[in-house]
Amino acid sequence: MATRIHIGVDGGATGTRLRAVDPDGRILGEGTAGPSSLTLGVDAAWAQIRIALAAAGIAEADHPDTTVACGLAGTGRPEKRADFRAKAPGFARLRLCSDAHATTLGAHAGRPGAAIALGTGTVGSALFADGGTRQVGGWGFPVGDEGSGAWLGLKALGEALQLLDGRNVEPSGGSALHRAMYETCGATAPELLSWTYQAPSTKYATLAPIVVRLAEQGDPAAVRLMRAAGREVDRLARALDPDGVLPFCAGGSLAAPLRPYMDPAITARLRPPQGDARDGAVLLARSLAPGEAWSDA
């Protein structure tokens, strides 16, 4: 008799990570692939998931005995979710949720809690004791992602552009942060226009480590931006759990750098995550954690 396989997929704009387990949770295989965010297209997402399945040693013939749970970025649009389901291979069952929900499930081992991802973008998700869920943020750059790496980069470069125009009240020549923006992105209008032309969030996020480094060195402009980012993360946390009763996790490349700039009442609730989004997706595949309201629609 074939072993029943449960697969968890964590897919975003950077890459895809997959883990296959048996009914007892023992790892059968793991695989990685390129980005599988639904914002990049449903066909592209399935192509990368298939690559990760092959890397994990899961053959097409195994699919009838397989339950797959995908925690993917870009699941906000119902038509994208429907198209993703329609193009799925013949799995025994397919469960779908946002990457934010999978992150929360993994962080708290499927139990109630809140989690915020702080990287190129920002998004928060909460699971409550009654099984209800809430997501805050995740609207995407540039209309959202406040406090993220892309947001920090955009703000830092924007200040440098205003200084170049004489619209900034900084001291003559600006701070070390503004000079670093010129050194990185260009010091003339044509160079700066070339750098910013159709720049995606990932490009602006490459400027965030400069802000972090100079804030650690005490640069006033960098410190000001980090404080502003910390306030945005505080707002996410309060909106997720207004009563402040849930255990709280923060992950991503900016979680540690932003912690000193957050409200101490919020950071006091921070707990180390017990797992990541792939772990959360595996729990969902094994029916050991609840999905979002629409996850099995």
| CATH code of 16's domain | 3.30.420.40
| pLDDT band with cut points at 50, 70 and 90 for residue 236 | very high
The reply to whether 293 falls in a domain is no
Per the DSSP assignment, residues forming a β-bridge with 127 are 113, 133
The reply to whether 296 falls in a domain is no
Q: What is the rounded distance in angstroms from the CA atom of residue 291 to the CA atom of residue 235?
A: 25
Q: Do 256 and 134 belong together in one domain? A: yes
Q: Do 58 and 117 belong together in one domain? A: no
54-63, 68-77, 127-136: the lowest-pLDDT one: 54-63
The reply to whether 292 falls in a domain is no
The reply to whether 117 falls in a domain is yes
Q: What is the rounded distance in angstroms from the CA atom of residue 284 to the CA atom of residue 106?
A: 10
Using the structure block, give the residue that is written with the tokens 């469960």: 95
The reply to whether 210 falls in a domain is yes
Q: What is the rounded distance in angstroms from the CA atom of residue 273 to the CA atom of residue 200?
A: 29
Full domain range(s) for residue 192: 112-272
Residues 125/134, Cβ–Cβ less than 8 Å? yes
- Structurally, the chain folds into a number of domains equal to 2
Q: What is the rounded distance in angstroms from the CA atom of residue 81 to the CA atom of residue 78?
A: 5
How large is the average pLDDT for residues 220-229? Answer: 95
Q: 273: which DSSP letter?
A: -
| pLDDT band with cut points at 50, 70 and 90 for residue 13 | confident
pLDDT of residue 1: 37
Q: Do 139 and 209 belong together in one domain? A: yes
Q: Do 150 and 199 belong together in one domain? A: yes
Residue 146 CA: distances (Å) to CA of 12, 72, 231: 18, 20, 9
The reply to whether 251 falls in a domain is yes
Q: Do 91 and 161 belong together in one domain? A: no
Q: Do 141 and 35 belong together in one domain? A: no
The reply to whether 297 falls in a domain is no
Q: Do 100 and 167 belong together in one domain? A: no
Residue 124 phi, psi (nearest 5): -125, 150
pLDDT digits (tens, 9 = 90+) for 193-220: 999 988 888 899 999 999 999 999 999 9
| pLDDT above 50: residue 26 | yes
Q: Rounded to two decimals, what is the model's pTM?
A: 0.82
Buried b (16+ CB within 10 A) or exposed e, 46-83: bebbbbbbeebebeeebbeebbbbbbbbbbeeeebbeb
Q: Do 142 and 189 belong together in one domain? A: yes
Q: 176: which DSSP letter?
A: H
pLDDT of residue 110: 92
Q: What is the rounded distance in angstroms from the CA atom of residue 28 to the CA atom of residue 5?
A: 8
Sign for the pseudo-dihedral over CA of 139, 140, 146, 147: positive
Q: Do 154 and 83 belong together in one domain? A: no
| pLDDT band with cut points at 50, 70 and 90 for residue 88 | confident
Q: Do 101 and 118 belong together in one domain? A: no
Q: Do 89 and 178 belong together in one domain? A: no
The reply to whether 164 falls in a domain is yes
Q: Do 169 and 245 belong together in one domain? A: yes
